[in-house]
A and B are shown apart, each in its own frame.
Chain A
Amino acid sequence: MSENHQEEPFDLEALRRKEKSAFARLVDENSTRIYRLALKMTGNPQDAEDVLQETFIKAFKNIEGFEGRSKVSTWLYRIASNEALMLLRKQKEGITHIDEGLELEQGEIVPIQIVDWCCLPEKELVSAEARDQLREAALSLSDANRAAFLLRDVEGLSTREAAEALDISESALKVRLMRARMQLREDLSGYFNSKMTKDLR
């Protein structure tokens, strides 16, 4: 039931009439999730704030473009993802980008780290150091794979909604998500494995 419009009551007509109170409510209800996406995409609070402001400025300007077929949050995620990806592209100008294939290659996702670190104490798993590690691992993903992962696994969008937000097919979304998830699992396994060996010493 990802299409539950009752989750987000908002007055589309009031938004179209450019009523300030309706916009204020829209901003209030969505600013935290848009900021979180922007922050995790860019890894930088200043960039995240720029993306956040630009997202709502564009949303207000283009509210006629929102037809009400998808959730308003999905529409905002779409604008925000675009803004973040554009900003990152600008920052990386001149850096050669390696395009990944649209399909998973045979053997591309073979797991290397086989260590069961789930049994580590909770305080090790959520320590400040571990959270830095999470951030670093996510930022080491390609921008496209990170966007797919954040929308699907952190923001909790369905496959269809995340694909719509990124303007890609559902199968492309699934491939990016797979690459992201497996790479993050490898990275965290490496980190927590080193914690486990340290504990044993």
Chain B
Amino acid sequence: MKPIHESSCQDVLINLNAYIDHELDALSCEEIEAHLGACPNCQIVVNTLKKTLQLYQLDGETTTLPAETRRRLFACLDLNEYGSTD
């Protein structure tokens, strides 16, 4: 007989961070996934939250240090002779 999953939407929300960060134990994970399989709304929340984080990571990866800002940083630290990017 299959175990009865007692997981409700509220349980999913409480454990959402830990679930997304892979910090949950196997049993809790299984309970959440069983709930997600049966609850489209919670599934959407999980999917859109994951996507949200992914978009921010992507945006972060494309942020660069402008060359002028770098030059002024090395200058203000009196490290001019090391600041060359050549």
Contact = CB atoms under 8 A, between A and B. Distances in A.
A36 B49 contact: no
Given A21-B82, A114-B41, A31 B52 contact: no
A188 B58 contact: no
A174 B55 contact: no
Given A20-B82, A35-B65, A109-B13, A56 B73 contact: yes
The size bracket of the interface on A is: 35 or more
A134 B55 contact: yes
Given A32-B64, A116-B48, 14 more contacts: A20-B78, A20-B79, A20-B82, A23-B77, A23-B79, A24-B79, A27-B73, A27-B74, A49-B73, A57-B76, A114-B45, A181-B49, A184-B56, A185-B48
B25 interface: no
A62 to B, nearest CB: 14
Interface string B45-78: 1011101110111111001111001101110111
A155 interface: yes
Interface residues of B, number: 35
A31 to B, nearest CB: 6
B73 A52 contact: yes
Nearest to B13: A109
Interface in B10-45: 13, 16-17, 21, 41, 44-45
B41 A118 contact: no
Given A115-B48, A116-B48, A185-B52, A52 B57 contact: no
30 contacts: A20-B78, A20-B81, A23-B77, A24-B83, A27-B77, A32-B63, A32-B65, A35-B63, A35-B65, A35-B69, A36-B65, A49-B69, A52-B69, A53-B73, A110-B13, A111-B45, A113-B48, A114-B45, A115-B48, A116-B44, A117-B51, A118-B47, A118-B48, A118-B51, A126-B58, A134-B56, A135-B59, A154-B57, A185-B49, A188-B52
Interface in A13-72: 20-21, 23-24, 27-28, 31-32, 35-36, 39-40, 45, 49, 52-53, 56-57, 60
A166 interface: no
Contact of A60 (B49, B64, B66, B77): B77
A1 B18 CA distance: 18
Enumerate the 5 nearest inter-chain pairs by beta-carbon distance, A residue then B residue, closest first.
A24-B82, A154-B60, A36-B63, A32-B65, A116-B44
Interface of B: 13, 16-17, 21, 41, 44-45, 47-49, 51-53, 55-60, 63-66, 69-70, 72-74, 76-79, 81-83
Given A53-B72, A114-B45, A36 B60 contact: yes
A110 to B, nearest CB: 7
